Amino acid sequence: MSKQFIFTFCTSVLLTTSGFCQEEDSMMFRKIYTEALINGKAYGWVDHLSNKIGHRLSGSPQAEKAVEWTRKAMTEIGCDTIYLQECMVPHWVRGEKEKAAVTSSLNKAPVPLTVCALGGSIGTGAGGMTGKVVEVKNFEELEKLGREKLNGRIVFYNRPMDPTFINTFDAYSDAVGQRWAGAMRAAPYGAVAVIVRSMTLVIDDFPHTGVMAYNDTIKKIPACAISTYGADLLSSMLKKDPNLVFSLNMQCKMMPEVKSYNVVGEIRGSEFPAEIITVGGHLDSWDIGQGAHDDAAGVAQSMEVFNIFKNLKIRPKRTIRVVAFMNEENGGRGGAKYAQLALQNKEKHILAIESDAGADTPLGFFMEGHQGRIDLIKSWKHLFSPYGLHEWDAVGGGADIGHLKDANKDDNIVLAGLRPDSQRYFVYHHSGHDLFVNVNRRSLELGAASMAALVYLADKYGLK
């Protein structure tokens, strides 16, 4: 096929209102996906972060090692510039493994239950604690019971994620309030601790941690997550013996804040260097797994965008950055710092893409921002259809890139989040299941290619 024919074909037939040539871009998409699937490095990077470094809770030695390793990996890719953005982060430590059990007049011996402290919780003290348990399904039930029935008791939030939500992130959002605010809501009624049903749709014996919050004007009480198997067992035991006693021992505590960093790599644009496209994931993770899906995968997929561009010799018109954010899990300090510096330096971001929803098969993108620019991106979706990306209508972006909305109020930035198949994600999320062995290589690589393809189009045509 001659170059003249391609040119004529593109200009006379396939030149759309978006101004792009479908034939040319379709060919580039094929190259991008082939490169990711044949020569991609993302899987090896997830392996290193998961198995060689391990969990990377903010403030931990592993988080510090991850920063240095990521800077080195970006150097090897060949970024034009690599730098660290300093941010102070919380330093919460779990301490020795948590212990819990229930004692009932109906059992000869205490029945052990599998729990883990929620991130940010205070401990129980060296000797642990005991108390009678009151089960509630929601905050409305809590309020109805009041201080008379809750004073001195341990509140057990047993609200399952709703399995009828097809998008499991909707089920998570519907139930996660009991984890985040459970201690704050129970303490004013005299509760001495809270137990929260794990945020997962499966019934197993793996508790799921996650951040919880305190208010300095409200007494702080210990908060733990119980496995879904344990939650069902505790609920059934309470029905038979409402006076059973729950014992809990957690030695977690908050330490002074420590210095950490975002890792930023940049390829400067050849024509419009002031227009910035950012891709990123968060480098930190919870400490009871390896943080493979959440979010070594997102960091690796973001770095793979650079690797693909380099190997295909795509020199971007606009400046592209990959950011490994620190402290998404229990503070969001890295995302806030990145946005703060963007505002301070009067940077113009046109698009930010985050991968923080696991490494399963990509289905599309979440998006929020200027509707006209979102509509422009959606006009490209037929190019993604051959690669299985059909879902473009969900609203959202990402926790770390979300801070950029305030830093780009006048520039109408588009925030996008890679949207993988969500059906298995909450098996891994914040649990001991979040391991490298549970990452599918091909799905990971397809996600990285999808991000690179979207960056390619946004860079080539801009978002006007």
Strands (E) across 288-406 are located at: 318-325, 348-354, 362-369
How confident is the model at residue 408, as a pLDDT? 72
Tokens of 131: 């108390």
Verify whether residue 328 is a known catalytic residue: yes
CATH architecture of residue range(s) 3-90+256-461: 3-Layer(aba) Sandwich (3.40)
Query: What is residue 352's three-state secondary structure?
Result: strand
CA distances from 271 to 12, 316, 317, 453 (A): 27, 8, 5, 19
Sorted by sequence, the CB contacts under 8 Å of residue 409 that are 6+ apart come out as none
What's the CA dihedral at 394, 400, 406, 408 to 10 degrees? -80
- Secondary structure element (H or E) that encloses residue 213, with its range: none
Determine the residue type at 228.
T
Catalytic residue among 135, 304, 328, 445: 328
Q: Which pairing describes strands 272-282 and 348-354: parallel, antiparallel, or unpaired? A: parallel
Q: Which residue has the tokens 């510090």?
A: 64
How is the chain split into domains, by residue range?
3-90+256-461, 95-251
The answer to whether 49 touches 69, Cβ cutoff 8 Å, is: yes
The domain made up of 95-251 has a fold known as Glucose Oxidase; domain 1 (3.50.30)
How confident is the model at residue 18, as a pLDDT? 46
Kindly report, residue by residue over 63-84, the tens digit of the pLDDT. 999 999 999 999 999 999 999 9
Tokens of 110: 């205490």
Spatial CA neighbour of 334 closest among 429, 404, 266, 253: 404
Count other Cβ atoms within 10 Å, centred on residue 133: 20
Kindly report, residue by residue over 180-196, the tens digit of the pLDDT. 999 999 999 999 999 99
The answer to whether 211 touches 429, Cβ cutoff 8 Å, is: no
Tokens of 335: 């995302």
How confident is the model at residue 410, as a pLDDT? 66
Alpha-carbon 282 to chain mean position: 7
How confident is the model at residue 278, as a pLDDT? 98
Query: What DSSP designation does 40 have?
Result: -
Q: Do 3-90+256-461 and 95-251 fold alike per CATH?
A: no
Q: How far apart are CA 322 and CA 302, in angstroms?
A: 6
**pTM of this structure:** 0.93
What's the CA dihedral at 164, 167, 169, 172 to 10 degrees? 0
Q: How far apart are CA 27 and CA 419, in angstroms?
A: 24
Q: Which residue has the tokens 């420590």?
A: 258
How confident is the model at residue 405, as a pLDDT? 86
How confident is the model at residue 107, as a pLDDT? 80
Q: How many residues does the structure list for the chain?
A: 464
The answer to whether 430 touches 287, Cβ cutoff 8 Å, is: no
**Which residues in the chain show pLDDT less than 50?**
1-18
How confident is the model at residue 20, as a pLDDT? 59
The answer to whether 325 touches 353, Cβ cutoff 8 Å, is: no
The answer to whether 231 touches 201, Cβ cutoff 8 Å, is: no
Q: How far apart are CA 324 and CA 263, in angstroms?
A: 5
How confident is the model at residue 105, as a pLDDT? 87
